[in-house]
Amino acid sequence: MSPVYIARTSEVAARLLGREMMIMSARDSTLFSLNETATAIWQAADGVTPLAEIVRQHVCVNFEVDPAAALRDAEELVEGLAKHGILKLSDQPIMEAK
C-alpha cells in the first residue's frame, strides 16, 4: 500500500483555541473544530511526512492508542477534510507545502 501524504491548503484560516484547532474554509465559510488528536495531525501535515509516520509520532506517542486503529481513524479523518477542501492528499510528497 503506497503511503499517503497530507498538506494544509492555503484556502483556509486556522487558529488554535485551547487544544482544538478552528478552521474556516474560504471556499464556503464552513467552520470546523478539530479535536486534540485531529489537531495534532493537522499541525503535522507538512506534505512530506507520510500519514502513517505522523500518526506514529504525534498520535500513538501522545494519546496511547492502538497504531492500526489510529491509522484507520486518521485516514478517515483526512479523507473527510480533503473533501471539504481544507487538506490536500497525495500518494506523492506535496512539495509546495514545504
Partner 1 sequence: MSGLVQEMSDKAQRLGIPLAVQLDLTYRCNERCVHCYLDHDDHGEMNTSEVKDLLDQMAAAGVFFLTLSGGEIMMRRDFFEIVEHARRLSFCVKLKTNAVMVHPREADRLQALALDSVQISVYSHRDEVHDAITKLPGSLKRTIAAVRLLVERGVKVVFANVLMRENFQDYPGVQALAAEVGAEFTIDPTITPMMDGDRSILNLNIERAQLQQVFRDASILGTSPEEFCAPPAGPPTADDAQKMLPCSAGHTFCYVSPYGDVYPCVQFPLPTGNVRTSRFLDIWKHSPQMTEVRSITLSDLPVCSTCSHGGGSCTRCPGLAYMEGNMRGPSSQDCEKSFVRTGVETAGMSIRREARSIDGLVQIRIAASPESRTEFLQTCL
Binding site for partner 1 (CB under 8 A): 10-18, 22, 24, 26, 29, 31, 33
| Shortest Å, Cβ 49 to partner 1 | 20
Give phi and psi for 41, each to the nearest 5: -70, -45
Nearer to partner 1, 23 or 55 (CB): 23
CA torsion sign for 37, 67, 9, 29 is negative
| Shortest Å, Cβ 4 to partner 1 | 23
Nearer to partner 1, 11 or 66 (CB): 11
Separation of first and last alpha carbons in the chain: 24
The amino acid present at 63, given as its one-letter code, is F
Nearer to partner 1, 55 or 88 (CB): 88
| Shortest Å, Cβ 45 to partner 1 | 13
The number of beta carbons lying within 10 Å of the beta carbon of residue 21 is: 20
